[in-house]
Amino acid sequence: MKINIFSENIFPDWDVNERKFIQIAKKILKFYLKRPEISENCCLNGEQFNTITFDFLYCDSVKTHEINREYRDKDYPADIITFAIFADSEEKFIFDGEINLGEVIIALDKVMEEAAKKGVTPEYELAFLISHGIMHLLGFDHQTMEDYNFVIEQQNKALESLGEV
């Protein structure tokens, strides 16, 4: 299976090592897909494909506030917004064996704030949000406490599998 991840950083205050975080995202996705509790319950289950594609946009909370207002009718800045195109679609569109899962938008100013609050590195917090976004792209949500706990548990396991971020 091939994984194509594209990223763009429009946040001027953090020169994210995009190549490094693309590799981290690939490792996280592969980790998730090896776990039956994820692979058997995600939007990819039963689908025939050879390539998975998705995008990251790194920006600031002003941009996530705009996106939240315009596309989600929510009037606040978010640390992460996920558009799970494939998971949320009625018809699962696969073109030439490729599935486009969607886009993950991350506010890096929020990442830095949250990292400081938690006492972790900004890189660790970014990896945490990337793992969260990938869970959403795979079709997992957290409307209930049980679902939330499942998502967080899987994120923590994925990050543990990476070692140092």
Count CB atoms within 10 A of the CB of residue 146: 9
Confidence at residue 118, expressed as pLDDT on a 0 to 100 scale = 97
Q: In what order do the strands lie in the sheet with 80-83?
A: 2-9, 51-59, 98-107, 80-83
The DSSP H or E segment spanning 104 is strand 98-107
pLDDT tens, the chain, 165 aa long = 999 999 999 999 999 999 999 999 999 999 999 999 999 999 999 999 999 999 999 999 999 999 999 999 999 999 999 999 999 998 889 999 999 999 999 999 999 999 999 999 999 999 999 999 999 999 999 899 999 999 999 999 999 999 877
C-alpha to C-alpha distance for 106 and 127, rounded to whole angstroms:
11
Confidence at residue 28, expressed as pLDDT on a 0 to 100 scale = 98
Per-residue exposure over 43-65, b if at least 16 CB sit within 10 Å of its own CB, e if not? bbeeeebeebbbbbbbbbbebbb
Confidence at residue 138, expressed as pLDDT on a 0 to 100 scale = 98
Count CB atoms within 10 A of the CB of residue 114: 17
DSSP 3-state percent helix, strand, coil across the chain (nearest 5): 50, 20, 30
Query: Tens of pLDDT along 14-44?
Result: 999 999 999 999 999 999 999 999 999 999 9
Q: What CATH number does domain 2-162 carry, 3.40.50.300, 3.30.70.20, 3.40.390.30, 3.40.190.10? A: 3.40.390.30
Q: Considering just the CA atoms, what is the radius of gyration of the chain in Å?
A: 15
Write down the domain spans for the chain.
Answer: 2-162
Which residue in 32, 77, 67, 80 sits closest to 52, CA to CA? 32
C-alpha to C-alpha distance for 72 and 67, rounded to whole angstroms:
7
